[in-house]
Structure 1
């Protein structure tokens, strides 16, 4: 336990999130409790509770970590290579699918677990709104998306991204097929 005291608070939080991700990947979301996380990370339960408060807080933090990672990768790729509608659609599609593949088949289970309580459902809706805002920003150079119809279109694109990402994560389709299909859907909707 002495190693536990040597990490900064941020380093410890990152270690706990990585361990939580490993647990979800190997054992599913049902196995992810703060007590089990503490045990697997080699820390005391109070340390896990201090970082996340509740299981819901842990699930939210884990999802935020994945979402932030996806957005960083996507923004960097868009900045470097997002010159055409086709480029942007491919980059955005790959970012969504790769995020789900990072979590594997448990991505859907994590998403479903986030709907278990009102607190988590509110968070999930805020993530959805944030993703739609990212889509709007990414595709803004290629046409004006009106408030009503444009928002509905982006909601549909987000739904397609979620569905195809989960299909790839569960092995129902390949990464290449999911990225290609999603990219074509995005281009078709926005041309």
Structure 2
């Protein structure tokens, strides 16, 4: 009866919290809508009403983490970014720290989604959204070629993902992962800006 008093949004959040707890303790393979309903103390139709399928539940978990990463970076940038170097440091710290806070669960959710047909677009959209955030942030302090900026940031996001996985697995420290992400991003931005300047000044 207590469960019925929750609003729809609070019920959804409860189900997502329950799902993430299952992934944390048992891995993504153990995640089913029936299991989430049982652990949350609701009937199976309630879980199906919110997510419809296991893929829908995994997608909701992915979007939730993606939103958390974006919000953490946006908030930090708004408060502290006053130079390209500061911006790059903030973005690197926000990404690595968010993944470390979530732990191995995000990697497990992403891997599970990758194995389901039709979810490639969701994962691509997530990477592009974060790359767009990176691009808008660095363009305040550096001029990047319009044709290359987004591609460059997608590469940076891929590197950040790989470094975050290494840190989560304990093969890199938090400081090492942040520092490497900073250097990759700053190096990529500076190199692209230098190449663009060279093209503009080279006689045709």
Q: What interval of TM-score do these two structures reach, taking the shorter chain for normalisation?
A: over 0.9
Contact 1:103/1:169 (8 A) holds in 2: no
Q: 1: CA distance between counterparts of 2:13 and 2:31?
A: 16
Q: 2: CA distance between counterparts of 1:135 and 1:75?
A: 10
Q: 1: CA distance between counterparts of 2:170 and 2:104?
A: 8
Query: Gapped runs of 5+ residues in structure 1?
Result: none
Query: Gapped runs of 5+ residues in structure 2?
Result: 191-204
Instruction: With the length of structure 2 as denominator, give the TM-score of the two structures.
Output: 0.88
Per-residue CA shift, 1:23-54, capped at 9, x if unaligned? 11111111111111111111111111111110
Aligned residue runs from structure 1 range 146-157, under 5 A: 146-157=145-156
Contact 2:77/2:90 (8 A) holds in 1: yes
Larger Rg: 2
State the structure with bigger RCO (CA 8 A, min sep 6), 1 or 2: 1
Superposition deviation, residue 149 in structure 1: 2.4
Q: CA RMSD in A?
A: 1.3
Per-residue CA shift, 1:87-138, capped at 9, x if unaligned? 1111111121122212312332221111122321111111111111111111
SS in 2 for 1:119: coil
Q: 2: CA distance between counterparts of 1:135 and 1:72?
A: 13
Superposition misfits of 4+ residues, deviation over 6 angstroms: none
Q: Give aligned pairs, total.
A: 190
Instruction: With the length of structure 1 as denominator, give the TM-score of the two structures.
Output: 0.94
Contact 2:73/2:90 (8 A) holds in 1: yes
Matched, 1:168 2:167: yes
Structure 1 match to 2:37: 38
